Amino acid sequence: MRQSPTIIRRTSWPFLFAVSLLVLACPACGEEESTEESPSSGLVALNEISCHGRDWVEIVNITAAAIDIGLWRIADSLTKDGRQFALPSGTEIQPEEHLVIRRQKDLEEGFAFGLKCGEESVYLLDSEGGIVDQVEIGNAPYGGTWGRLPDVTGLWRETYPTENDPNEAPTSASY
């Protein structure tokens, strides 16, 4: 019998206010970054991706309302069979909540495909297959992740793994 997917949740307080301050204070933080657009027009967005070891994808609800994301999908291909994972029916993401979906392991449900740093894209699809958000995974070094800086609103770049916490820039001592 399969267990339900490994989904880890975390909601931060004064989330939108803090994110707004970060955007104003440090839009690029002097680091090389991706040209991927911020998720300002969406309701749920990809936020951080781990493509080393047991891969995971973090999404975030950027609204002040709960959203039913049951049957939404995480994918690394829009055309290849077996490269999409549907979230269980009834999955809800709370306001400003981070939610992590992991790669399948043993009896734990999750996506069955691996994510390759610097070689693939990740897609967040709604229940009808429409693209909600997407990103090309950058060349995150082993021990690092690919995430938005500032958290939620920033452009994509190498980040320190912060599963369910605000994304952080890596330091030389990070890994």
CATH number at residue 139: 2.60.40.1260
Q: With respect to residue 58, please indicate whether it lies within any of the assigned structural domains.
A: yes
Q: What is the pLDDT of residues 95-122, one digit of tens each?
A: 999 999 999 998 889 999 999 999 999 9
Check residue 168 and give its pLDDT: 96
Q: With respect to residue 173, please indicate whether it lies within any of the assigned structural domains.
A: no
Whether the pLDDT of residue 141 is over 70: the answer is yes
Closest CA to 44 of 96, 121, 122, 115: 96
Q: With respect to residue 168, please indicate whether it lies within any of the assigned structural domains.
A: no
Q: With respect to residue 174, please indicate whether it lies within any of the assigned structural domains.
A: no
Whether the pLDDT of residue 24 is over 50: the answer is no
Whether the pLDDT of residue 43 is over 60: the answer is yes
Whether the pLDDT of residue 15 is over 50: the answer is no
Q: With respect to residue 166, please indicate whether it lies within any of the assigned structural domains.
A: no
Domain with 84, as residue range(s), is 3-159
| Domains identified in the chain, total number | 1
Check residue 5 and give its pLDDT: 54
Q: With respect to residue 164, please indicate whether it lies within any of the assigned structural domains.
A: no
Q: With respect to residue 170, please indicate whether it lies within any of the assigned structural domains.
A: no
Helices vs. strands in the chain: H and E counts, helices first: 1, 14
Window from 4-13, 65-74, 87-96 with minimum mean pLDDT: 4-13
Check residue 40 and give its pLDDT: 38
The burial class, CB within 10 Å (0-12 / 13-18 / 19+), for 130 is exposed
The burial class, CB within 10 Å (0-12 / 13-18 / 19+), for 166 is buried
Whether the pLDDT of residue 30 is over 60: the answer is no
Using pLDDT thresholds of 50, 70 and 90, give the confidence band for residue 173. Answer: low
Whether the pLDDT of residue 28 is over 80: the answer is no
* pLDDT, average across residues 149-169: 95
Whether the pLDDT of residue 31 is over 60: the answer is no
Whether the pLDDT of residue 166 is over 90: the answer is yes
**pTM of the predicted model as reported, rounded to 2 decimal places:** 0.77
Closest CA to 92 of 111, 123, 75, 70: 70
DSSP summary character for residue 141: P
Determine the Cα–Cα distance for residues 57 and 110; give it in Å rounded to an integer: 10
Q: With respect to residue 131, please indicate whether it lies within any of the assigned structural domains.
A: yes
